[in-house]
Amino acid sequence: MLFKNRIQGKKEDQINYLRENCMLVSETLALVASHIRPGITGMELDEIAEEFIRSKGSIPGFKGLYGFPATLCISPNEEVVHGIPNNQPFEEGDIISIDCGVFNNGYYGDAAYTFALHPVDPKIEKLLKVTKEALHLGIEMARPGKRTGDIGFAIQHHCERVHNFSVVRELVGHGLGEKLHEPPEIPNFGKKGKGVKLVENLVIAIEPMVNLGRKEIKQLEDGWSVVTRDRTYSAHFEHSIVVRSSGPELLSNHEIIEETLKNNEFIAEI
């Protein structure tokens, strides 16, 4: 179901709070990335993230929201999103999508990154690379006067038409502000010139979720974890951005995450 409310851009003081929170999310993901290795568990990574976020005077944005029990959504391999951290150790060859949110000063921050533990199957490495490329192609469309369909088309075309992967339909990006999920929804598929018109200073989270196999998904019995129906691997990257006439402004920062990866011998740089 799509949001029906009229969308509005944010004021600069609101954007400042959102920028601070998205930067903290990025710093948290970078810290978590420095600890990822075979043998560590999602529960351990979740504890590291929560302690860091609280040490910065913020609170985990996901924990307790809609009843979610953890600080991070940790979704390995065939899990698409919303995985609950557990005590299953990660292994060589795993890919791990980690989605993080924080809440402070009345606003949220949100970003996600998928990590790959060596050795990485070339097909899986390509899936991650293409998903990350699609994210940035979608971001380039985020300008006033463009529509959500322009973002979705850019992502879908790159993933499906060019590279023969599958974009998840049921899960989408979203507006970001005083709530984690605000209008408009940002599908990762669509048609040029269709959908909600973007406005100046609108803050949105763009987050392609792309499967190696078919697009169909299902939810597990835990009520949260979403997996690919054919159990092939899935990748997920997310940035929060501001729609600007001068060009989209990134609020989150994947570069500091990738800088950390240079010093982690267990994770492939995509």
Domain boundaries, given as residue ranges, for the chain = 12-261
CA angle 196-201-205, nearest 5°? 65
Q: Residue 4 above 70 pLDDT?
A: no
pLDDT of the residue at 6: 74
Both tokens of 48, joined, read 């590291």
Both tokens of 122, joined, read 């070339």
**Above pLDDT 70, what percent of the chain?**
98
Residue listed under structure tokens 């970078």? 30
Beta-ladder partners of 133: none
Read off the pLDDT of each residue in 148-170 and give the average, rounded to a whole number: 98
pLDDT of the residue at 1: 34
- Report the CATH fold assignment for 12-261: Creatine Amidinohydrolase (3.90.230)
Mean pLDDT of the chain: 97
Task: Give 230-241 pLDDT, tens digit per residue.
Answer: 999 999 999 999
Q: Residue 59 above 80 pLDDT?
A: yes
Both tokens of 253, joined, read 């920062």
pLDDT of the residue at 202: 98
